């Protein structure tokens, strides 16, 4: 599924195992926006810049993302609304967030879906 595939990209990009950034901008809709767990609303360009700067931040094996409980909330012709838990592990901490994403069918995007909107909320227990 596209949710897991994009997060696999983040792990590979952040650990330097993948240096080609092009997969990420190709996955985001032109009007993409993201609400961070802290409540900030970021547009497409801000998110692209933030992610691109994090490339090769960790050594291989030091950063991981596990997607849990991924499910479709609603879907129709041309779209899907999904929710999932994202658990991140770094050498310094473990975090977890509940994310809701709106995906549109887009044959030109990786996996055939473009990310239109993501809203993340911190989960109190990162329980690994």
Tens-place pLDDT, residues 6-16: 999 999 999 99
Tell me which residue has tokens 């990786």.
110
Ordered by where they begin, the domains of the chain are: 2-122 (3.10.450.50)
Tens-place pLDDT, residues 62-110: 999 999 999 999 999 999 999 999 999 999 999 999 999 999 999 999 9
Q: Which two tokens stand for residue 90?
A: 């770094």
Q: For 72, how many CA atoms within 13 A lie in the half-sphere containing its CB?
A: 9
- For Cα atoms 32, 115, 31, give the angle at the middle one, nearest 5 degrees: 20
pLDDT at 126 over 90: no
| pLDDT, averaged across the chain | 95
Sheet of 79-89, strand order: 41-43, 28-35, 113-122, 94-105, 79-89, 64-76
SS3 of 27, please? Answer: helix
């Amino acid at each position: 599924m596209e949710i897991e595939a994009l997060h696999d990209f983040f792990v590979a990009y952040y650990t330097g195992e993948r240096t080609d950034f092009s997969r990420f901008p190709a996955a985001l809709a032109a009007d993409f926006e993201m609400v961070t767990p802290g409540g900030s609303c970021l547009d497409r360009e801000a998110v692209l810049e933030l992610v691109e700067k994090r490339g090769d931040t960790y050594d291989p094996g030091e950063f991981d993302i596990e997607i849990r409980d991924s499910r479709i909330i609603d879907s129709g012709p041309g779209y899907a609304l999904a929710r999932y838990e994202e658990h991140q592990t770094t050498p310094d901490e473990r975090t977890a967030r509940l994310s809701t994403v709106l995906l549109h069918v887009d044959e030109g995007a990786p996996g055939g879906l473009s990310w239109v909107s993501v809203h993340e909320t911190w989960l109190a227990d990162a329980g690994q």
